[in-house]
A and B are shown apart, each in its own frame.
Chain A
């Protein structure tokens, strides 16, 4: 088959780039992955200049099956048409978890009328101590719509693994604390994982990223 080439174009791989759509997509994805903070994919729903981590092309972290504080099993399907912010934490966390949830509440407020489209989910990595009652009281303290989710030890481990979330118990003098990944995952209203917000991002920066998904 005759290759189409613009006159004067260089030969070799660079020419291939412009004439081979599959390779172009692969290379673009690689480039996007390499330049995460500034990722901008050349297709539908592109994210521009995100401060978080663009996960639009990520093939992992699709779902979970965990109980809410009322004992009902929930999964992503329950939050169809919502913009989901998902965070792994534990209530005995004096620092990162409260500030993350407080920031999520600020994001919800910042979205104004669109705030009703937001669903914040808090998955506990410490189901031993985070009983359903404590979970419910904790998440609703930040906003009545925020939902805690929990599972048994195996479900917690499996779910964290699916989301590439690291967590572990750390003994302290008298008790234990938890180490855990402090990213907030954001799913768009089609249930697609799009973004991970870093702990260091301010509410304003998160809003700027999230607004692109609405």
Chain B
């Protein structure tokens, strides 16, 4: 009798523990800071979004979508020997607690086949999908303000205020 109770008890505890584990990992907390989208001119069919991502648990950004564009992809820009290269990144790793920047010079989200012009002052709603280590996906909605096409650097960086030249 006693044994059964303990067994049931243990089983219940185990179930509870497993459940809470599931709940914890399914709820990776991803912080999205300073999102913005570059404005476009009429007829321009692509643009980019930038932001800072920080996740409490290790996750990957696996996809993104937005009503304003047919396709949304994550891209990485790299400069080598004065040549700019861009390539699609199928999944962007966000290590636990580490801020990953999507900013000019590195990663960005690309919008292809925009349905309309993006004007400075507009807001672009988009959805980011993150996948945790267990393969569980979590969608996060973002409202990204549109900044001028001519914006040089995201806020917090100095365009002309660099230190001594390299």
* A-B interaction: yes
A contact residues vs B (CB 8 Å cutoff): 51, 91-96, 98-99, 101-103, 105-106, 129, 131, 133-134, 137-138, 141-142, 166, 170, 172-175, 177-183, 196, 198-205
List chain B residues, Cβ under 8 A from A196: 82
Of the candidates B42, B48, B160, the one having the most CB atoms from chain A within 10 angstroms of its own CB is B160
The answer to whether B159 and A202 touch across the interface, beta carbons within 8 angstroms, is yes
The answer to whether B79 and A179 touch across the interface, beta carbons within 8 angstroms, is no
The answer to whether A204 and B162 touch across the interface, beta carbons within 8 angstroms, is yes
Cα–Cα distance between A202 and B41 once the two chains are bound (Å)? 25
Q: B84 at interface (Cβ–Cβ under 8 A)? A: yes
Count of chain A to chain B residue pairs whose CB atoms are closer than 8 Å in the complex: 122
- Chain B nearest CB from A79 CB (Å) reads 23
- Chain A nearest CB from B88 CB (Å) reads 5
The answer to whether A170 and B87 touch across the interface, beta carbons within 8 angstroms, is yes
Cα–Cα distance between A1 and B79 once the two chains are bound (Å)? 55
Residues of B within 8 A of A (CB-CB), count:
38
Q: B166 at interface (Cβ–Cβ under 8 A)? A: yes
The answer to whether A92 and B149 touch across the interface, beta carbons within 8 angstroms, is no
Cα–Cα distance between A103 and B151 once the two chains are bound (Å)? 10
The answer to whether B112 and A174 touch across the interface, beta carbons within 8 angstroms, is yes
- Chain B nearest CB from A164 CB (Å) reads 10
The answer to whether B150 and A175 touch across the interface, beta carbons within 8 angstroms, is no
